[in-house]
Amino acid sequence: MAIKISFPEDLIEEIIIRMPVKSILRCKALSKHYYSLICSQCFILRHLRLGKLNNNKLFDRSFLSPMLGSVHLFERGRHPKVLERIPCIVEGSSNVDGHYHKIQSICGPVDGLYCVMETNNNPSRRRIAVWNPATREHFILPTDDLCIRAFGFGHDCNKNNYKVVIIYLLISDMFDKKLYFYIFDVSEGERRNYEECLSLDPWIIESDVGVFSRGGCHWVCPPSLRGNNTASGFDTGYTILAFDMSKETHRIFPVPGGVVDENEWSTNSIVTLNGCLALINTQGMDMEGRSSCFNVWVMEEYGVTESWMLLYRVSLPPGTVGQFLGLIGDRFFVAEEEGWLVSYDLRSKDDERYDIVDNNICHIVPYEESLVRIFAS
């Protein structure tokens, strides 16, 4: 005679909540009870907290973002490989309304959510989407033909909301030194304009992706091409523009001399390293934007100009040049001139070359899974 064994419901819940996201989503089809359980905000938040405990230690899965209509899920390890190709929601046909569409930038992750922007030969027709690649849920923002210069994505810890901030200029004011903020509250589905405009040259924001850290999004701005930034009180040196997601206010941090290379053939990327803001200074670039030397500067005390410190220097082998792709944990990723993907450990100085040759890869970001809903039900 068959013996029927039943497990306590709380034990089943503890098992489910520790499963991968794809497996959890399949469990929604078991019954109405499990569907309601998995969709509940309490379950989603518990799953998110458990995931953060693991994601703090694991950096083996990443998104390779080629400038095409999809991203590649990449897994490091003994046998590195691309696991799957995941179409992004902004993916469209190669020609829509006479304009070419392809992925330009991916921002995140923030609790497993990403913000993706496509490029377009018409800057007022770019689309931005908030996207959960694990659940395939997405939402395309109403950008209303904004001429977008940069964007950022982050979390408002006071209201427990996710927000997108877009920096744009008015087409009618393209020759004026004015930038405007558009804020989209993802959780509430509301948009609003930030009343104060920035008296900055619209074309000087060096990276279109804002880095979320310490509750705000950050962009690096090189010296204005039209003279001093009188609104901020600083001279023509490099600055970091910060936008606080909770207070919805902005600040400008000066970057002291010596941190950045101000010659014509250099660029600076803003990232996070061990919870601190960091600048990757690429020196001596060639015409293709490649270099053999990268300096990693860290702002050890947030907002304190004097706390910048040169922490690492990454030098590629003689005769080799590459383009900086991203920093995940302590691993520094570069696309070498032949298209090879290479990572360098900042601490141990060892390097790993991956059998992936793709000249279209533009950046790499961590992959993080979650059940977080874009619009909380």
What is the DSSP code string of 38-98?
HHSHHHHHHHHHHHHHHHTT---EEEEEESSSEEEEEE-SSS-EEEEEEE-TT---S-BTT
Return the pLDDT at 131: 87
Beta carbons of 141 and 152 less than 8 angstroms apart: no
What span, in angstroms and rounded, lies between the C-alpha atoms of 137 and 130? 8
Q: Which residues pair with 353 in a beta bridge?
A: 342
Confidence of residue 182 (pLDDT cuts 50, 70, 90): confident
Sign of torsion over alpha carbons 42, 48, 54, 56: negative
The stretch 278-301 carries a mean pLDDT of: 80
Confidence of residue 153 (pLDDT cuts 50, 70, 90): very high
The stretch 250-261 carries a mean pLDDT of: 78
Which range, of 97-111, 188-202, 349-363, averages the lowest pLDDT?
97-111
Who wins on pLDDT, 84 or 323? 323
With 80 as the cut, is the pLDDT of residue 364 above it?
A: yes
Return the pLDDT at 262: 58
Confidence of residue 359 (pLDDT cuts 50, 70, 90): low
- pTM comes to 0.83
With 70 as the cut, is the pLDDT of residue 51 above it?
A: yes
Which range, of 11-15, 273-277, 292-296, 360-364, averages the lowest pLDDT?
360-364
Confidence of residue 299 (pLDDT cuts 50, 70, 90): very high
Q: How far apart are the first and last CA of the chain?
A: 45
The domains found in the chain, sorted by start residue, are 9-39 (no CATH), 50-366 (2.120.10.80)
Ramachandran class of 287: left when φ > 0, alpha when ψ lies in -120 to 50, beta otherwise? alpha
With 90 as the cut, is the pLDDT of residue 152 above it?
A: yes
Confidence of residue 207 (pLDDT cuts 50, 70, 90): confident
**Sheet containing strand 101-110, strands side by side:** 101-110, 113-120, 128-132, 137-140
With 60 as the cut, is the pLDDT of residue 361 above it?
A: yes
Tens digit of pLDDT for each residue in 24-43? 999 888 888 888 888 888 99
Output 34-41 pairs: Cβ under 8 A, ≥24 positions apart: 37/13, 38/371, 39/377, 41/376, 41/377
What span, in angstroms and rounded, lies between the C-alpha atoms of 320 and 315? 9
For tokens 């899920």, what's the residue?
73
With 60 as the cut, is the pLDDT of residue 59 above it?
A: no
Tens digit of pLDDT for each residue in 96-115? 343 344 566 788 899 989 98
The stretch 307-324 carries a mean pLDDT of: 86
With 90 as the cut, is the pLDDT of residue 217 above it?
A: yes
Give percent of the chain above pLDDT 70. Answer: 68
The stretch 154-178 carries a mean pLDDT of: 80
Return the pLDDT at 328: 87
Angle at 68 between CA 365 and CA 21, to 5 degrees: 45
